[in-house]
Structure 1
Amino acid sequence: MPEVAVLDHDAVLAAVSPRAAIDATREAFLRHRRGEWVMPAKVYLDASPHGDFRAMPALGDGLAILKWISSFPRNPAAGLPTVMGVLLVSDARTSQPVAMLDARSVTALRTGAVAPVAARALGREGAASVGLVGCGLHGAWAARCLAADGYGPGVCFDPRPEAAEALASELGWRAGTREEALDADVVCCVTPGAEVVLDAGDLHPGQHYNMLGADGPGKAEATIGAVASCALFCDEWAQASHGGELTGAVEEGLVERDRVTDLGAVLAGEAPGRPGPEAVTMFDSTGLAIQDLAIAAAAVAAWRDGRVAAQTVTL
């Protein structure tokens, strides 16, 4: 068996810049929309009361991936990350294993990259300021990717003031209150989804909301009323309606399929985006395997081109 590359957390982040992640993520949505990249549904494996595992396969451009990732909210108390896992890359023509990547860094990059992709497609013309609610790993990469795409200045809020201040200092933004963050042109909520941070009364005409934290059953960052008050978009209806920000409003009968537009359809020019300059748009991101494929493919290309070093193992 040939050697298999192993890219750790730092290697993945060195291999794929925020700009490259944004471009790759946008292309992934278009490829999936055209049927060139495919993925079956995400599989959840409950590990209550600790958390859950997710298995996420995808195939495209000669590669097949499987991301095996976890969400264990109690981990930080034990000094461990909430999200951990591994992403396997195989040659789609021979099935030969190609690489193993740290799934935590891949997830952070693709979660962050979709923020400016959605904001460009759905935000109002001239939108610039950013409000960030949640400054953990994924929130930090959402902010970095938005900054790399020309957004800012921004306001960072987190229950841990030191996290908000550190990220704000890094980007030249400022730390502020939740209310100040929710006043921005583009607002990104990137919390664990265990409690609501956005209500209908927080919405202002012309805003765009990226809801990035509620990525599984039982999670929500916004009230049902806030969700139902917006022009709605999602990464994939099947995931978003059963385990995303839309779920509560769907279960209450306030939101049906015809009220929600796929981001890929907007990017491909097959569906309209923002209804008007005064509308409040909301994008529900649950995270797709084709996004992981895009980041993994970029990382593998960087390794093959000698732009990043990796360990190797023989299976």
Structure 2
Amino acid sequence: MLVVPERLIAGLMGPDEAFEAVAEVFRQTAGGAARNFPVVREALGGGRQYGFKSGMGPGALGVKAGGYFPGNAARGITNHQSVVTLFDPETGRPEAMIGGNLLTALRTAAAAAVSIDALARPGARVLGIVGAGHQAAFQLRAAARVRRFERVIAWNRTPERLAGLAAVAEELGLPFEAVPLAGMREAEVIVTITSSPAYALAAAHVSPGTHLACMGTDTIGKQEVEPALLGAARVFTDEPAQSVTLGEAQHAVAQGLLDPARIVPLGAVLTGEAPGREDPDQITLYDGTGVGLQDLAVAARVLALAKARGLAIPVEI
């Protein structure tokens, strides 16, 4: 078996490679060539979450194990901890173990960027971000690669944490402004990336024609936006089964505001099987629940690059 440790990932995988790998996963799932397996997700207490995401695609079989541990920041390590294990789909033999922390951040941001590229209005110039945790900077960088934004606005429950996001915006040459939630009406694209159990962004905070990428809800009970917003929007997702059970759509569906049959797999838009945005004033919303196949795709890309450069470490098990 080969090992690609976390310390090597940054030198092997960047936003462009992650975008390409994740976009291909969307297309494969839409065409039936790949499928995600049911998620196992457990609460450990104290805000800790642990679970498994897995799937199988062309030449790929594997699982990501890991979760969210909110006390880690005080220990000097990231709150999200994970590892991806790849198996030979024919024999089941383990092929590789790959550090999953940076890969999770890159693939999550890439999925949001794919949705923005496919669904946001071409002339969108103002990007809004709700949340300022570790993942927010990745979201800003990825979004800026698919639209020529002229300004970034952001909100966070603790405003002082926005300083890090402001620094990333400056690095990208984009003016930055902290705004109240009502100020999000100026945004034409909004990315929500929080771990909240109660929504902050309300329907009244979103203007017609906005595209939202809701990336933080991946567990039963989490919630980032008002359910009425999904009831009024055209809703897309990575995995419909996850969207209605543990994604942002869980609340709108439970309240009878959203028919699950209305949720469109984003991959179907990429392959031309389903329409995307149908009107300039339509609100579109991508419910990014995070799927195992995305983890496997970026891990497989990293493994190939590591093998080509002689960086994969062989171990006997």
Same fold (TM over 0.5): yes
Output aligned runs, 1:119-138, within 5 Å: 119-138=116-135
1:84 to 81, 86, 96: 81
1:259 paired with 2:257, answer: no
Summarize the Cα distance change of 1:310–1:183 in structure 2 as closer, same or farther, 3 Å threshold: farther
Contact 2:230 2:257 survives alignment (8 Å) = no
Please give the secondary structure, in 2, of the residue aligned with 1:85: strand
1:203-242 matches, within 5 Å, as 203-242=206-245
CA distance in 1 between partners of 2:167 and 2:195 (Å): 19
SS in 2 for 1:162: helix
2:4 corresponding residue in structure 1 = 6
Q: Matches of 1:36 and 1:13 in 2, distance apart?
A: 29
Which residue is 2:192 aligned to?
A: 189
TM-score (norm 1): 0.91
Aligned twin of 1:314: 316
Residue 232 of structure 1, CA deviation: 1.3
**How many residue pairs are counted as aligned between the two chains?**
311
1:1-315 mapped onto 2 (5 Å cutoff): 3-8=1-6, 10-157=7-154, 158=156, 159=159, 160-179=161-180, 180-181=183-184, 183-306=186-309, 309-315=311-317
Code of the residue aligned with 1:58 in structure 2: it is G
Specify whether residues 310 and 154 from structure 1 end up closer, same or farther in structure 2 by C-alpha distance, changes over 3 A only: farther
Cα offset, 1:212, TM superposition: 0.5
- The DSSP-based 3-state class of the residue aligned with 2:36 is coil
| Cα distance in 2 between the residues matched to 1:60 and 1:234 | 18
Shift of 1:26: 0.8
Deviations 1:246-289 (Å, cap 9, x if unpaired)?
Answer: 11111111111122211111112111111211111111110011
Contact 1:18 1:109 in 2 (8 A): yes
> By how many angstroms is 1:103 displaced?
1.6
- Which stretch shows the higher mean deviation, 260-269 or 143-152? 143-152
CA deviations over 1:115-171 (Å, ceiling 9, x no partner):
121112211232243222223332211211122234423415343132222222222
Distance 2:151 2:57 in 1: 35
Task: Tell me if structure 1 keeps the 8 A contact 2:136–2:193.
Answer: yes
Identify unmatched segments of 5+ residues in structure 1.
none
> 8 Å contact 2:84–2:296 — kept in the other structure?
no
CA distance in 1, matches of 2:175, 2:197: 25
2:129–2:153 CA contact under 8 A, matched in 1:
yes
Q: Which amino acid aligns with 1:223?
A: E
**Structure-2 separation of matches of 1:205 and 1:120:** 18
Q: CA deviation at 1:79?
A: 4.1
Check whether the contact 2:239–2:265 (CA below 8 A) recurs between aligned residues: yes
Instruction: Report SS of the residue matched to 2:24.
Output: helix
Which stretch shifts more, 129-138 or 254-263? 129-138
Provide the C-alpha distance between the structure 2 equivalents of 1:259 and 1:50, rounded to a whole number of angstroms: 32
RMSD: 2.0
Normalising by the residue count of structure 2, what TM-score does the alignment of the two structures yield?
0.91
Q: Report the AA paired with residue 122 of structure 2.
A: E
SS at match of 2:213: strand
In 1: Cα distance, 2:153 partner to 2:9 partner: 25
Asked if the contact 1:69–1:85 (Cα under 8 Å) also holds between the matched residues in 2, the reply is yes
Which shows bigger deviation, 131-140 or 283-292?
Answer: 131-140
Q: 1:24 and 1:151, CA in 2 relative to 1: closer, same or farther beyond 3 A? A: farther
Distance 1:163 1:195 in 2: 24
Q: Supply the AA of the counterpart residue of 1:149.
A: V
